């Protein structure tokens, strides 16, 4: 019998030795954090910051286009839709499509900011002239800009409330970091120009117009810096295109927006749309019926890029400063130069107030469906800027179907509040 | 070397083939000098008993009785033998018989009922094997013989069979698997599906992957999750053992907290080949699942494209697409063997049409089980099975390109057109899934008949899943077309060694057991898709102008060892203590091996001298044990996800990591008794259980503003389940020709999240995990003034809102999402000529379910059949006279997410079956049986639950933690006639 037991014991030992004591397995796929210290991985980290920025902009541009009436909601609410509250122009902290953009933009910010720090520590040449570092700083800056332009207030790294102004200041700092890191390296000139353009826009929001003009002057009129979207898979599609592509969604329309009539009258190629002869994909709550489905054509396919900065935007900054100074004729000259290039009639306001009205419309046209309108409306509202908006984009107007309390910024979403003990549960 | 090995294998194969052939054919040749034993086995009421194992003690000679109770043991050498008859639920009887050469010796058995089966052998949850009397925990044994209805799947085989064992039917699409829960949910982040063994070999239990592209989160496909359990041919199963919690599953270690199901397939027995053929024919029928009303508005132009009369709301406009799905199944098996080798061989083909127009499920399978006894002390059991499952699905679920969603939403659908010809354009999508499953297991048992015995099992389970779906060029909702293909290879490798040594100490004994077990799982996935084809045709992925691909490879190792001591005092008192020590590749680097203890006791009170036999038989039992659930493969490590974007390599944050991450640990206490009395005409077993999960793996939320992952598994939570299980079985009337059996069961489950470890309440998939509330909690919107003729006033009782805060959060706690009370009923009527009619029913209640389609339908201003009463007001211009409850349910102005939550109480008749023995009516047969069965054909719902079915699951299928209703169809009823013939 002892022999049996010995044999059994021996077999048990083999089993244990063969399996029970070795739990080390190597699975491919996810990458250990430490591996990212390798300089060969740095560019991919910077690309990660860009990717999440593009995700965030995709969400923000889509939702805010409806809230600001760059587009009009055409039915769908969930998935690729516009929620009931957002149809009325309200951004509520626990509503659909409030959290996704917040999460993406925070990831972009974190990847860029932490990546820049990591590169400084692990790349022997430091960040100066180092492309991954320049781009990490640049995308972190745009992420901070996206928050600063669109959120009422924010939080950073799980901390307490940070004001919108502070987020814009963070953006300014990171744009400066990118400019400094790019230095005079010729191959980083485009990134450096993009940083100047971004910083100009942020400084305009912060009221630092001298700084804004200085930066804008660094940006040629033909310059453009885009967020990239791809044909490859759905979460990389241009959301504004896809949600209104009739394949299968008809969630937004140009019907009953200021751009509907304007394009009909002018054929301005900056705001193209087409009448599909169809109706939107469901009844629109604020209208109580289904509405005409006029498909926007600016984002013409799933891979259409969305502009982050451009020389034309810089010229608008220069024009806005001229309006602030009361020199509206000079301001209109800038706008008309662009319009002339497009074969459009000149703008000829009779007064400064009218010039502001035309400027606000023109800025809306130039930056249409780029996720910038909400920030502009907030800024002009906060500064009591002269000029009026079209009734179809005016809060409380019957024509706009917008609630009188239309939101001009995103609240911090519910999920952030529930997980972050440093901010209150409710706005 | 290869040549040499090839030759060796060839010789081995030829030897096996020759041995098998000899076993099948040679046995009758020697019959002239041998004798035969034959007879009939009956119950005490003289009713014939089928499927009784009758064998010569100490040999492999024997076989099963036929439906007329007859058995036959051929080729018995002259001499005197002990012959034993064994069947679960009956007393084992051994009789002596003398066999004479060339003669047929008659030996009949009359088996008395033994409701408790105290000497039945149980394998699952024990070290080696044990008699029921020795076990301190409850264990369920389901004998295939006792199931009257033809079983279409293993899922249904388990349905309503035992208190504490809940099998939800899922959706009505072909291939849809069922969710199984044993005593509720013990985890909020890990799987609560029990682990599964087949003949001692661990096999895959988690759902197969849905056939949808990773790029389409909304599920452009059938949104069906198939169950690996259903790859097994129910006709191959001899019995199933189920242990429901950690008190019994300790020896399975880290992955067994949700319970263990072990399936035992049939084996051969010595004797002439016994052929069995079964043919099933029937159909599936979808029952109405919505109010039978017509809420189409008069004169609404948007409805003009709907052909009047073609739709009905009771089927939610699906009428033009539904059919009665034809079911057919053909299976055949042969069992027999010689003294040293017995075999069981089987094959099946199963063709099952669904009720949706493209739904189809075909199954082909074969099995070979062999028992080889080369030496008296050694038995080698080899079990092998191959199955192919082919599923074709109609695009369905919450899917803008699905049939069901677009039919439910009629003119407000994604075609903006309710015409069935238009909606039917989605049927151009081709969605197919194929699973090739191969399970091979070998167990070598060494039992020299002394104090020591041991058993070694190795097993291999491979499932190869092939998903493919095509939206052809010109597809209405994706004109460029799209092809998605997904190849998955799941393997599980088991090694299991156990040995026992029994010290006899007079009338007492001590059995010491020890063993080791290793389970290695590996998953390999390659997915690819191509979109935008050049033109019509039958494309491959390469044909797409845009192509994407993905790969996943995951290997996990769980291994450990255990020791157990069983002290037997006078065969009445039993005390068992054991420990399992485990390691797992998913544990954090700072975590070592984990130990799970257990202790149990049983006392056969009825064997005491003071016990009056009139009181029947009674066993008291108590058990405590622990087991666990490991975290996911990468949960312990801080990782980034490398992906491409626009041709650029990219890293994105994936997992925060936690080096101290370990398994969650569930400790369970259960106390109960098994009793039978009145000459075994009444039997009851009762169990009180209490499970407590500590170090619960909760996905602790991190604020998005941290910029990394927004949750991380941490061992912080505590939750509990407690309740009772009571099972009653009675024989009210029992004579040779007539008999009536009745049974009932009660199961309760009350769960609670005891602690979140300081983490904030969190949600996932519509479920909330919140301290002081059930696991899991459903939150939603309720109103304060249902009867008032005014707009709804929402409730706001959120405990997290501080005094003075505005009531912004309207999601109030509503109730549990899992049933808290379940009642089962069964009845059997036995009639002359062995005709038997049985019925089983089940009530589940106390829980709530979210109805997504109604919520989204009303939100989209779709005329919804549950709102007929409200439309009476609004269509007549008196909407302001409608009570707040109707406005809240039916007016989109008051829409909030989470409005449509129903009380999910229901009662279903699981089956009514008539079994008619035909004897040898069919020429050439030994006996045959005709069975007629209707399954899941009656459903009662709570009045507050007006539409759909409370057993439905969401797009995620049965792998999701809790059910919720999405744009699917309910499970269909089925009607089957089955003919079983034994030759």
Q: What is the band of B17 on the pLDDT scale with cuts at 50, 70, 90?
A: very low
Domain B11-111 in CATH 2.60.40.1120 = yes
Mean pLDDT, residues B299-325: 75
pLDDT in tens, B924-958: 888 899 999 999 999 999 888 889 999 998 887 77
Give residue B459's pLDDT. Answer: 96
Give residue A178's pLDDT. Answer: 98
Name which of A106, A279, A425 is nearest B704 (Cβ-Cβ): A106
Which is more confident, B58 or B774? B774
Which residues of chain A have a pLDDT value below 70?
1-25
User: Residue B340: is its pLDDT beyond 90?
Assistant: no
Give residue B217's pLDDT. Answer: 65
Domains along the sequence of chain A with CATH: 36-230+408-419 (1.25.40.390), 237-266+279-296 (no CATH), 307-370+380-393 (no CATH)
CA of B377 to nearest chain A CA: how many angstroms apart? 12
Residues in chain B with CB shorter than 8 Å from the CB of A279 are 416
Give residue B127's pLDDT. Answer: 77
Name which of B516, B657, B703 is nearest A155 (Cβ-Cβ): B703
The most distant pair of C-alpha atoms in chain B lies apart, rounded to whole Å, by 98
Nearest of A293, A273, A287, A83 to residue B414 by alpha carbon: A293
Give residue B765's pLDDT. Answer: 65
Mean pLDDT, residues B798-823: 70
Nearest of B60, B86, B470, B540 to residue B268 by alpha carbon: B60
Cβ contact, residue pair A19, B520, below 8 Å? yes
Range with lowest mean pLDDT among A181-185, A297-301, B482-486, B792-796: B792-796
pLDDT in tens, A326-371: 999 999 999 999 999 999 999 999 999 999 999 999 999 999 999 9
Of these ranges, A207-211, B12-16, B245-249, B795-799, the one predicted with the greatest mean pLDDT is A207-211
Q: Which two tokens stand for residue B305?
A: 């494209």
Q: What is the band of B803 on the pLDDT scale with cuts at 50, 70, 90?
A: very low
Give residue B960's pLDDT. Answer: 77
Q: Is B878 exposed, middle or buried (0-12, 13-18, 19+ CB in 10 A)?
A: exposed
pLDDT in tens, B819-869: 999 999 999 999 998 899 999 999 999 999 999 999 888 877 788 999 999
CA of A196 to nearest chain B CA: how many angstroms apart? 24
Q: Where are the alpha helices (DSSP H) in A123-247?
A: 131-150, 164-182, 189-206, 209-216, 239-243
Mean pLDDT, residues B333-348: 91
Residues in chain A with CB shorter than 8 Å from the CB of B302 are 290
User: Residue B899: is its pLDDT beyond 70?
Assistant: yes
B440 Cβ neighbours under 8 A, 6+ residues apart: B201, B382, B383, B384, B385, B459, B460
Residue in A42, A96, A233, A421 to test binding to B, most B beta-carbons within 10 Å: A233
Q: What is the band of B352 on the pLDDT scale with cuts at 50, 70, 90?
A: very high
Strands (E), B904-949: 906-919, 927-941
Strands (E), B316-397: 325-337, 341-353, 360-375, 378-393
Cβ contact, residue pair B705, A44, below 8 Å? no
Residue B581's CB is within 10 A of a number of other CB atoms, namely 18
Q: How remote is the C-alpha of A294 from its chain's centroid? A: 24
Q: Which two tokens stand for residue B379?
A: 């038995």
User: Residue B381: is its pLDDT beyond 50?
Assistant: yes
Q: Is B426 left (phi over 0), alpha (psi -120 to 50) or beta?
A: alpha
CA of A10 to nearest chain B CA: how many angstroms apart? 11
Q: Which two tokens stand for residue B98?
A: 């003398």
B494, B958, B813, B966 alpha-carbon torsion, rounded to 10° = 160
Residues in chain B with CB shorter than 8 Å from the CB of A283 are 412, 860-861
Nearest of B692, B637, B628 to residue B660 by alpha carbon: B637
Q: Phi then psi for B598, rounded to 5 degrees?
A: -150, 155
User: Residue B441: is its pLDDT beyond 60?
Assistant: yes
Give the whole-angstrom CA distance, residue B475 versus residue B484. Answer: 14
Cβ contact, residue pair B518, A15, below 8 Å? yes
Q: B573-584 and B53-56: which strand pairing?
A: unpaired
Is the distance from CB of A115 to CB of A136 less than 8 angstroms? yes
Is the distance from CB of B159 to CB of B910 less than 8 angstroms? yes
B168's enclosing H/E stretch is strand B165-168
- A-B CB pairs within 8 A amount to 253
Residues in chain B with CB shorter than 8 Å from the CB of A233 are 214-215, 548
Q: Which two tokens stand for residue A412?
A: 């911090």
Range with lowest mean pLDDT among B13-27, B162-176, B500-514: B13-27
A154 Cβ neighbours under 8 A, 6+ residues apart: A147, A148, A161, A162, A163, A164, A166, A167, A412, B705
The angle at the Cα of B615, spanning B613 to B618, to the nearest 5 degrees, equals 95
Give residue B800's pLDDT. Answer: 41
| ipTM score assigned to the predicted complex | 0.92
CA of A103 to nearest chain B CA: how many angstroms apart? 5
Q: How remote is the C-alpha of B338 from its chain's centroid? A: 36
Cβ contact, residue pair A20, B560, below 8 Å? yes
CA A153, A159, A165, A171 dihedral sign is negative
Mean pLDDT, residues B200-226: 89
Name which of A41, A282, A426 is nearest B412 (Cβ-Cβ): A282
C-alpha to C-alpha distances, B475 to B239, B425, B546, nearest whole angstrom: 48, 8, 17
Give residue B30's pLDDT. Answer: 46
Q: What is the band of B113 on the pLDDT scale with cuts at 50, 70, 90?
A: confident
How many alpha carbons fall within 13 Å on the CB side of residue A215? 28
Residues in chain A with CB shorter than 8 Å from the CB of B651 are 31, 36, 41, 44-45, 47-48, 111
Q: Is B836 left (phi over 0), alpha (psi -120 to 50) or beta?
A: beta
pTM here is 0.85
As a whole-number percent, the residues of chain B with pLDDT over 90 amount to 56
Give the whole-angstrom CA distance, residue B792 versus residue B810. Answer: 12
Provide the 8-state DSSP code for A16: I
Nearest of B653, B649, B656, B704 to residue A112 by alpha carbon: B653
Cβ contact, residue pair B557, A283, below 8 Å? no
Residues in chain B with CB shorter than 8 Å from the CB of A29 are 551-554, 634, 641-642
Provide the 8-state DSSP code for A68: T
User: Residue B16: is its pLDDT beyond 70?
Assistant: no
B612 Cβ neighbours under 8 A, 6+ residues apart: none
Provide the 8-state DSSP code for A77: -
- Indicate the fold that domain B195-776+817-851+900-982 takes in CATH: Maltoporin; Chain A (2.40.170)
Q: Is A169 exposed, middle or buried (0-12, 13-18, 19+ CB in 10 A)?
A: middle
Q: What is the CA radius of gyration of chain B?
A: 30
Cβ contact, residue pair B652, A51, below 8 Å? yes
Q: What is the band of B14 on the pLDDT scale with cuts at 50, 70, 90?
A: very low
pLDDT in tens, B562-608: 999 999 999 999 999 999 998 888 777 777 788 999 999 999 999 99
Give the whole-angstrom CA distance, residue B331 versus residue B235. Answer: 8
Residue B618's CB is within 10 A of a number of other CB atoms, namely 19
DSSP-assigned letters across all residues of B225-249: ---GGGGS-GGGEEEEEEE-SHHHH
Cβ contact, residue pair B706, A106, below 8 Å? yes
A13 to chain B: nearest residue by CA?
B516
Give residue B128's pLDDT. Answer: 74
Provide the 8-state DSSP code for B297: P
Name which of B216, B412, B495 is nearest A234 (Cβ-Cβ): B216
Give residue A19's pLDDT. Answer: 52
Residues in chain A with CB shorter than 8 Å from the CB of B634 are 27, 29-30
Give residue B1's pLDDT. Answer: 34
Residue B193's CB is within 10 A of a number of other CB atoms, namely 22
A228 to chain B: nearest residue by CA?
B646
Name which of B218, B452, B633 is nearest A27 (Cβ-Cβ): B633
Q: What is the band of B25 on the pLDDT scale with cuts at 50, 70, 90?
A: very low
Is the distance from CB of B460 to CB of B492 less than 8 angstroms? yes
Q: Which two tokens stand for residue B798?
A: 């959120």
C-alpha to C-alpha distances, B450 to A11, B57, B454, B500, nearest whole angstrom: 19, 16, 11, 11
User: Residue B311: is its pLDDT beyond 80?
Assistant: no
CA of B700 to nearest chain A CA: how many angstroms apart? 9
Q: Which two tokens stand for residue B390?
A: 């082919």
The counts of H helices and E strands in chain A are 15, 9
Give residue A58's pLDDT. Answer: 97
What are the beta bridge partners of residue B300? none
Percentage helix, strand, coil, to 5, in chain A? 55, 10, 40
Which is more confident, B14 or B245? B245
Give the whole-angstrom CA distance, residue B466 versus residue B464. Answer: 7
Residue in B704, B762, B794, B812 to test binding to A, most A beta-carbons within 10 Å: B704
Q: Which two tokens stand for residue B139?
A: 């264990």
Give residue A369's pLDDT. Answer: 98
Give residue A41's pLDDT. Answer: 96
Cβ contact, residue pair B553, A27, below 8 Å? yes
Average pLDDT in chain B? 87
CA B213, B219, B222, B224 dihedral sign is positive
Q: What is the band of B796 on the pLDDT scale with cuts at 50, 70, 90?
A: low
Q: Which two tokens stand for residue B99?
A: 């066999």
Q: What is the band of B900 on the pLDDT scale with cuts at 50, 70, 90?
A: confident
Q: Where are the alpha helices (DSSP H) in A16-41?
A: none
DSSP-assigned letters across all residues of B244-291: -SHHHHGGGGGG-TT-EEEEEE----BEEEEEEEEEEEEEEEPPP-S-
CA of B591 to nearest chain A CA: how many angstroms apart? 12
Domain boundary assignment for chain B: 11-111, 195-776+817-851+900-982
């Amino acid at each position: 019998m002892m022999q049996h037991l010995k044999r059994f014991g021996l077999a048990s030992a083999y089993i244990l030795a063969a399996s029970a004591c070795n739990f080390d397995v190597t699975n491919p796929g996810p990458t250990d954090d430490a591996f990212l210290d390798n300089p060969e991985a740095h560019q991919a980290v910077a690309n990660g910051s860009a990717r999440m920025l593009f995700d965030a902009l995709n969400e923000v541009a889509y939702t805010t286009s409806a809230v600001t009436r760059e587009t009009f909601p055409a039915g769908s609410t969930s998935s690729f839709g516009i929620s009931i509250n957002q149809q009325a122009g309200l951004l509520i902290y626990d509503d659909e499509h409030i959290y996704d953009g917040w999460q993406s933009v925070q990831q972009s910010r974190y990847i860029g900011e932490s990546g820049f720090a990591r590169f400084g520590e692990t790349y022997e040449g430091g960040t100066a002239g180092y492309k991954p570092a320049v781009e990490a700083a640049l995308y972190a800056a745009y992420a901070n800009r996206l928050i600063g332009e669109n959120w009422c207030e924010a939080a950073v790294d799980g901390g307490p409330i940070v004001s919108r102004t502070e987020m814009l200041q963070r953006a300014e700092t990171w744009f400066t970091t990118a400019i400094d890191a790019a230095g005079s390296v010729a191959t980083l000139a485009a990134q450096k120009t993009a940083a100047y353009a971004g910083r100009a826009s942020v400084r305009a929001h912060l009221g630092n117009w001298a700084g804004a003009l200085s930066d804008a002057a660094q940006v040629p009129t033909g310059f453009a810096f885009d967020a990239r979207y791809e044909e490859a898979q759905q979460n990389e599609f241009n959301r504004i295109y896809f949600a209104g592509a009739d394949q299968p969604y008809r969630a937004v329309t140009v019907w009953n927006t200021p751009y509907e009539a304007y394009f009909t009258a002018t054929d301005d190629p900056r705001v193209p749309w087409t009448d599909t002869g169809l109706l939107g994909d469901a009844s629109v709550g604020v209208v109580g019926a289904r509405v005409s489905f006029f498909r926007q054509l600016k984002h013409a396919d799933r891979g259409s890029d969305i502009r982050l900065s451009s020389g034309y935007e810089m010229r608008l900054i220069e024009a806005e400063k001229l309006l602030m100074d009361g020199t509206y004729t000079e301001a209109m000259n800038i706008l008309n130069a662009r319009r002339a290039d497009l074969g459009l009639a000149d703008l000829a306001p009779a007064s400064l107030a009218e010039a502001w009205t035309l400027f606000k419309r023109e800025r809306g046209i130039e930056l249409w469906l780029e996720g910038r309108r909400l920030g502009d409306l907030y800024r002009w509202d906060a500064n009591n800027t002269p000029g009026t908006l079209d009734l179809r984009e005016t809060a409380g107007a019957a024509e706009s179907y917008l609630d009188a309390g239309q939101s001009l910024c995103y609240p911090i979403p519910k999920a952030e509040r529930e997980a972050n003990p440093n901010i209150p549960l409710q706005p | 070397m290869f040549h040499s090995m090839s030759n060796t294998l060839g010789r081995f194969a030829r030897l096996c083939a020759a041995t098998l052939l000899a076993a099948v054919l040679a046995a009758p040749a020697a019959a002239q000098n041998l004798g035969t034993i034959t007879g009939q086995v009956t119950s005490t009421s003289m009713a014939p008993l089928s499927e009784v194992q009758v064998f010569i003690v100490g040999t492999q000679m024997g076989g099963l009785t036929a439906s007329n109770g007859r058995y036959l043991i051929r080729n018995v050498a002259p001499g005197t033998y002990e012959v034993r008859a064994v069947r679960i639920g009956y007393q084992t009887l051994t009789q002596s018989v003398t066999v004479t050469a060339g003669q047929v010796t008659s030996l009949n058995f009359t088996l008395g009922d033994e409701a408790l089966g105290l000497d039945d052998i149980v394998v699952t949850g024990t070290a080696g094997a044990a008699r029921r009397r020795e076990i301190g925990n409850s264990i369920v044994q389901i004998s295939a013989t006792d199931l009257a209805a033809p079983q279409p799947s293993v899922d249904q085989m388990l349905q309503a069979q035992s208190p504490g064992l809940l099998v939800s039917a899922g959706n009505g699409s072909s291939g849809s698997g069922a969710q199984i829960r044993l005593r509720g949910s013990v985890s909020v982040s890990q799987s609560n599906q029990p682990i599964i063994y087949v003949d001692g070999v661990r096999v895959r239990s988690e759902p197969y992957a849905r056939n949808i592209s990773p790029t389409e989160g909304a599920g452009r496909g059938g949104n069906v999750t198939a169950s690996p359990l259903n790859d097994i041919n129910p006709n191959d199963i001899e019995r199933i053992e189920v242990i429901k919690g950690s008190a019994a599953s300790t020896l399975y270690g880290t992955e067994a907290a949700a319970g263990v199901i072990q399936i035992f397939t049939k084996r051969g027995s010595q004797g002439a080949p016994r052929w069995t053929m079964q043919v099933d024919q029937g159909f599936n029928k979808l029952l109405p699942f919505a109010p039978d009303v017509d809420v189409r508005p008069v004169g609404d132009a948007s409805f003009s494209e709907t052909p009047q009369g073609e739709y009905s709301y009771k089927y939610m406009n699906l009428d033009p697409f539904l059919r009665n799905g034809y079911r057919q199944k053909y299976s055949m098996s042969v069992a027999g063997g010689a003294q040293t080798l017995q075999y069981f061989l089987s094959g099946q083909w199963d063709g099952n049409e669904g009720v949706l127009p493209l739904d189809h499920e075909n199954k082909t399978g074969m099995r070979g089980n062999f028992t080889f006894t080369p030496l008296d002390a050694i038995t080698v059991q080899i079990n092998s099975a191959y199955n192919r499952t082919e599923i074709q699905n109609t695009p369905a679920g919450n899917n803008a390109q699905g049939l069901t969603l677009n039919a439910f939403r009629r003119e407000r659908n994604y075609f903006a057109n309710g015409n069935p010809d238009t909606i039917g354009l989605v049927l151009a999508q081709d969605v197919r899934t194929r699973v090739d499953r191969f399970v091979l297991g070998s167990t070598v048992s060494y039992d020299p008949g002394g104090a020591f015995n041991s058993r070694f099992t190795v097993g291999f389970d491979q499932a190869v899943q092939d998903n493919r779906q095509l939206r052809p060029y010109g597809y209405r909702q994706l004109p460029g077309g799209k092809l998605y293909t997904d190849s998955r290879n799941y393997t599980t490798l088991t090694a299991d060694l156990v040995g026992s040594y029994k010290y006899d100490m007079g009338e007492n004994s001590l059995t010491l057991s020890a063993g080791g077990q290793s389970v290695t799982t590996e998953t390999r996935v390659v997915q690819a898709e191509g979109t935008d084809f050049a033109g019509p045709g039958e494309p491959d992925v390469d044909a797409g102008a845009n192509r994407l691909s993905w790969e996943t490879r995951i290997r996990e190792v769980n291994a450990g060892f255990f020791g157990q001591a069983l002290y037997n005092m006078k065969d009445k008192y039993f005390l068992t203590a054991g420990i399992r020590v485990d390691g797992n590749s998913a544990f954090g680097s700072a975590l070592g091996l984990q130990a799970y203890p257990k202790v149990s006791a049983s006392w056969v009170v009825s064997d005491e001298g003071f016990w009056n036999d009139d009181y029947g038989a009674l066993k008291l039992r108590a058990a405590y044990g622990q087991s666990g659930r490991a975290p996911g493969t990468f949960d312990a490590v801080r990782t980034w996800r490398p992906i491409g974007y626009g041709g650029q390599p990219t890293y994105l944050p994936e997992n925060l990591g936690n080096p101290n991450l370990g398994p969650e640990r569930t400790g369970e206490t259960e106390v109960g008794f098994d009793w039978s009395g009145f000459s075994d005409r009444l039997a009851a077993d009762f169990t009180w259980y209490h499970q407590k999960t500590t170090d619960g793996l909760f996905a602790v939320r991190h604020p998005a503003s941290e910029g990394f992952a927004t949750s991380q598994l941490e061992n912080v939570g505590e939750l509990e389940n407690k309740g009772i299980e009571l099972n009653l079985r009675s024989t009210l009337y029992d004579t040779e020709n007539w008999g009536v059996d009745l049974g009932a069961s009660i199961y309760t489950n009350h769960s609670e999240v005891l602690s979140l470890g300081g983490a904030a309440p969190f949600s996932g998939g519509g479920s909330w995990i919140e301290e002081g509330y059930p696991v899991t909690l459903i939150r939603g919107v309720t109103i304060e003034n249902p009867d008032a003729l005014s707009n709804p006033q929402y409730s706001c009782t959120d405990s997290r809102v501080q005094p003075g805060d505005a009531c912004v959060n309207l999601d109030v706690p509503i109730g549990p999402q899992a049933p808290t009370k379940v009642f089962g009923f069964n009845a059997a009527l036995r009639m002359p000529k062995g005709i038997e009619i049985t019925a089983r029913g089940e009530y589940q209640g106390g829980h709530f379910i979210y109805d997504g389609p109604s919520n989204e339908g009303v939100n989209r201003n779709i005329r919804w059949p549950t709102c007929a009463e409200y439309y009476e007001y609004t269509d007549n211009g008196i909407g302001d006279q409608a009570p707040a409850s109707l406005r809240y349910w039916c007016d989109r102005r008051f829409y909030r997410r989470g409005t449509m939550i129903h009380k999910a109480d229901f009662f279903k008749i699981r089956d009514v079956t008539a079994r008619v023995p035909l004897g040898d009516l069919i020429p050439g047969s030994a006996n045959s049986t005709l069975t007629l069965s209707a399954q899941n054909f009656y459903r009662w719902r709570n009045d507050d639950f007006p539409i759909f079915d409370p057993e439905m699951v969401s797009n995620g299928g049965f792998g999701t933690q809790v059910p919720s209703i999405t744009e699917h169809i309910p499970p269909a009823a089925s009607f089957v006639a089955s003919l079983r013939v034994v030759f």
